[in-house]
Amino acid sequence: MAVTLYDTTLRDGTQREGLSLSVEDKLRIASKLDALGVHYIEGGFPGSNPKDIEFFERARDLSLATATITAFGSTRRKDIAPEDDEGLRALLDTGCSALCIFGKAWDIHVTETLQTTLDENLAMVRDSVAFLKAAGRTVFFDAEHFFDGYKANAGYALEVCRVAHEAGADAVVLCDTNGGTLPHEVLRAVNEVALAIDAPLGIHAHDDAGCAVANSLVAVEAGCVHVQGTANGYGERAGNADLFTIIPSLVLKMGDECITREQLRLLTETSHFIAETANLAPNPHQPYVGASAFAHKGGVHASAAARLPEAYEHIDPAAVGNLARIVVSELAGRASLTMKAKELGIELSGDTAAKVLDSIKELEHKGYSFETADASLAIMLKKRLGTYEPLFRLESFRVIAEKREDGRVMTEATIKVHVKGHRYIATAEGNGPVNALDKALRIAIERFYPALKEITLEDFKVRVLDDKKGTGAVTRVLIETGDSRESWGTVGVSENIIEASWEALVDSVEYGLSRPASLPGER
């Protein structure tokens, strides 16, 4: 039996600090999750805010092939009949055919948080599930704080699950709400619940002990057929179980057909899309979908991986829509460098590769790093091969920072460049020296290179390499630039932060205007 995938990014995931989604964002993410093959998408808590109410109204117009939009809520309030409970009524008013409600499975939460009796809590669970089932809905019951409750009072935690099942719940979901349960504890508890209750079981894990994915997979091994999680592990505190790690593990390693192999190839694209929509940088070290998930850095390792990838990669990266990469650093060998150059569209002979490798090691000793600066590496390789043709030549630049009476600080840059036999002087103001230089350079050369209008600076990072030297330390600047086709990274190093920035900026512009038609990293 294939596992049912239940995504709660649009509710639980948005509890992550600094993450906020508009209704439009949530609709776009829902469509992406549907294309991936997720079965249930939890849209929000309709009784909690107007945004979620609007989402459910607009979600009715989505054309979904696989997923069912699901509304989330709680059991009825104590001493209130289910038909009179506003929260349960709000769930039905969404029109969703699937609903998920949570109820307390830890006795201390019943007596101290809800301030009611254990029997009344059981009645709340029973009445709520039965009421929603009578309305013809699919109902999932989240046994909140189940694992902590099981440790404290196993009999009561089990009784909560039994009552939900007998009332008609389509799945009883065991929740590690505090995220502190370890895999061996999950395995034991799920096995015992499965023996005591003949109900479809689910798992909802949080990552506070770093075990959310492991707990979810162990729970499936023990018999759970319903898995809840979020895209990229988003969620409050340390996050939720990462569905984008769970899904490929289920399909490729546990033989579960929760989604098709064709859908699985959309995994990396979907992960990055959701990260960008949430205005969060994708985690390069995220399993399966991270940019570094299949990156080979060590020289011997990288060379061997190219010859026999299955011996160095736990899966074929293409299976999840990702790519293997060779990362060039001082650890690289000639074979690694040659492969990386080929990846960048540059052919290197063995002798040339050895000389270039010596140059790279010398530059990295000075503070350069090419691991995330493929564009600077490509330009450096062309310079060593004598094939580099600069698009412009700098005569000089000057940057002035002015502190004004109203408190604002304005920066002005003046640049003198030679472009195709002409000398140009351009001046621009910016909110910092790099911004001002970027604007001035564009004014000077954009008339010759109109494609520059499509190229934008996406990220700017500064690292002090020797903080013991204070303000006189060597500084490394990394710039991420992109257009509608792809992104590329460049690096500059100098004791002068403006000079380091200029170096990285020039590389980013020159590479963007003269790069190959496509690269493996093209998005």
DSSP string, 283-325: -TTSTTTSTTTTEE-SHHHHHHHHH-GGGT-SS-GGGGT---E
- pLDDT, mean of residues 346-361: 72
SS3 assignment, position 400? strand
What's at 320, amino acid-wise? V
Between 99 and 481, the more confident residue is 99
> What homologous superfamily is domain 4-277 in, according to CATH?
Aldolase class I (3.20.20.70)
CB atoms within 10 A of CB 349: 11
Give the burial class of 362: count Cβ atoms within 10 A of its Cβ; 0-12 exposed, 13-18 middle, 19 or more buried: exposed
Distance CA 76, CA 129 (A): 9
pTM of the shown model: 0.72
The residue whose two tokens read 């003949």 is 198
Q: Give the model's pLDDT for residue 522.
A: 41
Query: 6, 39 in Cβ contact below 8 A?
Result: yes
- pLDDT, mean of residues 82-88: 95
Query: 139, 169 in Cβ contact below 8 A?
Result: yes
Give per-residue pLDDT as tens, 359-374.
777 777 777 777 678 8
- pLDDT, mean of residues 430-435: 86
SS3 assignment, position 441? helix
Q: Give the model's pLDDT for residue 366.
A: 78
Where exactly are the structural domains of the chain? 4-277, 295-366
Q: Give the model's pLDDT for residue 81.
A: 95
Question: How does residue 298 score in pLDDT terms, banded at 50, 70 and 90?
Answer: low
Q: Give the model's pLDDT for residue 471.
A: 57
Give per-residue pLDDT as tens, 103-143.
999 999 999 999 999 999 999 999 999 999 999 999 999 99
Between 61 and 369, the more confident residue is 61
- Least confident window among 161-175, 215-229, 235-249, 455-469: 455-469
Give the burial class of 218: count Cβ atoms within 10 A of its Cβ; 0-12 exposed, 13-18 middle, 19 or more buried: buried
Between 159 and 381, the more confident residue is 159
* CA angle (338, 375, 370) in 5-degree steps: 65
Distance CA 118, CA 107 (A): 7
Kindly tell me if the per-residue pLDDT of 394 is higher than 80: yes
Kindly tell me if the per-residue pLDDT of 223 is higher than 90: yes
What is the average pLDDT value for the chain, to the nearest integer? 88
- Least confident window among 211-220, 249-258, 435-444: 435-444
What's at 451, amino acid-wise? A
- Least confident window among 19-23, 214-218, 245-249, 353-357: 353-357
Query: 180, 208 in Cβ contact below 8 A?
Result: yes
Q: Give the model's pLDDT for residue 12.
A: 95
Question: How does residue 222 score in pLDDT terms, banded at 50, 70 and 90?
Answer: very high
Instruction: Assign 3-state DSSP to the chain and report helix, strand, coil percentages, each to 5.
Output: 45, 20, 35
Question: How does residue 334 score in pLDDT terms, banded at 50, 70 and 90?
Answer: low
Q: Give the model's pLDDT for residue 484.
A: 78
Q: Which has the closest alpha carbon to 9: 219, 272, 228?
A: 228
Give per-residue pLDDT as tens, 452-506.
999 988 888 888 876 555 556 788 888 888 887 778 889 999 988 899 999 999 9
Kindly tell me if the per-residue pLDDT of 380 is higher than 60: yes
Q: Give the model's pLDDT for residue 300.
A: 46
Give per-residue pLDDT as tens, 196-210.
999 999 999 999 999
Give strand pairing partners of 399.
413
- pLDDT, mean of residues 400-427: 89
Percent of the chain surpassing pLDDT 90: 61
